[in-house]
Structure 1
Amino acid sequence: MNKISTLFLLLALLAEVIGTIGGFGSSVFFVPIANFYFDFESVLGLTALFHLSSNISKIFLFKKGLDKKLLLTIGVPSVIFVVIGGFLTKILDSSVLEIVLGVFLVALSLLFLLRTSLIILPNTKNAITGGVLSGFSAGLLGTGGTIRGLTMAAFNLEKNVFIATSAFIDFLIDFTRTFVYYENGYIHQHDLIYVPFLFLIGLVGTYIGKKVLKLIPQEKFRKISLLLILTIGLITLVNILLKLF
């Protein structure tokens, strides 16, 4: 694409702001939006590059909240499995996997919204499982932050800890999968015209999101995160059904 789409950039900014507020990154909104403008391979490449800048911003703005234990238990398996998922994009049908992801997100978010007393025990097993699933999904579908966000929301973390830790893990994932996507040939030269704009959007969107987040009480944060995840799951399902039919 040679011509810049202003609407696409505005939607990317909105995705970054909402992703910052939700704490699970912009890709969960950015990927469905970008799918309307680019082919699937280009979406994967641009998402990885866009996320690098937005997560650097979040790490800088929320660095005091980093949870080093979760960084290890969720981050390490995420990095390992994002490589596996990234290479499998050349083999597996992404449409089926997007449907599975959408159903999974809708079902789990509804479960936690309807049963407010239900929480996932904050143990190493659950953290590692969330890391494996989010990393694999990020590599395969371009977005895994919702699964990681669902895991971390269930841990009922303080919002600054939630965002800082999620952003650092996301940065490691994006840094790793950028090399995988480059090797796969997903980073196309004709799409790079958008990268400087997306880098700026990552910075500005994160800053706006942080300002908005200060207005949200801690007790409402978990519910908002789950509602956003439910919305993302529904968008994912509608988007893939529109493609199929």
Structure 2
Amino acid sequence: MSAAFIAVCATALAASALTLFSGFGLGTILTPVMAVFFPIEAAVAMTALVHFANNLFKLALFAGKADRRACLRFGLPAVFASFAGAALLLWLADLPPLYAYSLFGRFLAVTPVKLVVGLLVGVFSWLEIAHTLKGRGLPPGLLPVGGLVSGFFGGLSGHQGAFRSAFLLRLGLSKETFIATGVVVACMVDATRLSVYVSHLSVPDVAGNLGLLAAATACAFAGAFVGARLLRKMTIETLHRLVGAMLLVLSALLVAGVI
């Protein structure tokens, strides 16, 4: 069993279980882990597939509990913005390296897509660690704006959860409705960005790892099931900060072109 298989599946299981009550989401954690083993644009697309399948599973667990008005006011702008974010990702992936250098006899290249996604991983990881967005719900009247922001970053790097939670927080939704509404919006964004990524889903890094994707999806399902059974306010501050620190390291490696 390869290191990629073990790392990706273990991450999918743990992240999916934590995503219901942790600031970090599946995509936030899984994307940089995928990027260790695959090109960044393939890593984002592969993570999107697992993320979408997992959200569909969670949608079945919380079926009928979503707030339809919030889904429309937040989700529709997010769908339109995710097109732009996904298109930007693919455009960046086609640009030549910005800088190339050698380190310990290894040729490394800093590409625009690695630089942008790496910086986003770092920024969103820091926001989560510092609790900048946690607990600070934003005015409900800004829901469409929140949808645009969340959808754009969802399409570009998969980081949609932090802004989505911040904007949905002040709606006074029950815990189950809050989660279900977020899942519906996430499914809308995932379906949209995957429709843009589809031209890149046939590349060897994706098509040649369907078994890995299937296993990672199954692990994410298991994690979501466990998370749903344990749904409650949990204090996992140490784990939260440890994961955040690891993501910051991965972010630096991406920006430096090492991975």
Indicate whether the TM-score tops 0.5.
yes
**Counterpart in the other structure of 1:200:** 218
2:114 equivalent to 1:103: no
Aligned to 1:35: 35
Distance apart, 1:7 and its partner CA: 3.0
Q: Percent identity over the alignment?
A: 26
- Counterpart amino acid of 1:198? A
Could you say which residue in structure 2 is the equivalent of 1:243?
254
Q: Distance in 2 between matches of 1:2 and 1:163?
A: 34
Q: Name the TM-score, length of structure 1 as normaliser.
A: 0.80
- Normalising by structure 2, report the TM-score: 0.76
Which residue of structure 2 lines up, in the alignment, with residue 169 of structure 1? 185
Q: 1:137 aligns with which of 132, 137, 153?
A: 153
Shift of 1:121: 2.0
Q: What do residues 181-216 of structure 1 show as CA deviations (whole Å, max 9, x unaligned)? A: 112457531122222212322321111011111xx2
Name the residue aligned to 1:19.
Answer: 19
Partners of 1:122 and 1:157 lie apart in 2 by 12
Mapped contact 2:85–2:154 kept (Cα < 8 A): yes
Q: Which runs of 5+ in 1 are unaligned?
A: none
Give the AA of the match of 1:173: V
Give the paired residue count: 232
**Structure 2: which amino acid aligns with 1:90?**
L
* CA distance, structure 2, for counterparts of residue 143 and residue 112 of structure 1: 13
Rounded to whole Å, the distance in 1 between the matches of 2:87 and 2:195 is: 11
Bigger Cα Rg: 2
The correspondence of residues 68-147 of structure 1 with structure 2, limited to 5 A, is: 68-92=68-92, 93-94=112-113, 95-96=115-116, 98-99=118-119, 102-103=122-123, 106-107=126-127, 110-111=131-132, 119-123=137-141, 126-147=142-163
Code of the aligned partner of 2:32: P
CA distance, structure 1, for counterparts of residue 124 and residue 131 of structure 2: 10
Q: Distance in 2 between matches of 1:154 and 1:102?
A: 26
5+ long unaligned stretches in structure 2: 93-111
Contact 1:134/1:144, CA 8 A, preserved across alignment? yes
In structure 1, what is the equivalent of residue 63 of structure 2? 63
Query: Cα 1:52–1:35, aligned 2, differ >3 Å: closer, same or farther?
Result: same
| Code of the aligned partner of 2:193 | R
Aligned partners of 2:12 and 2:217 also within 8 Å: no
2:131 maps to amino acid: L
RMSD over aligned CA atoms reads 3.1
Q: Deviations over 1:203-245 (max 9, x none)?
A: 21111011111xx24xx7xx879x95x8776554432213345
Q: Counterparts of 1:2 and 1:103 in 2: how far apart (Å)?
A: 30
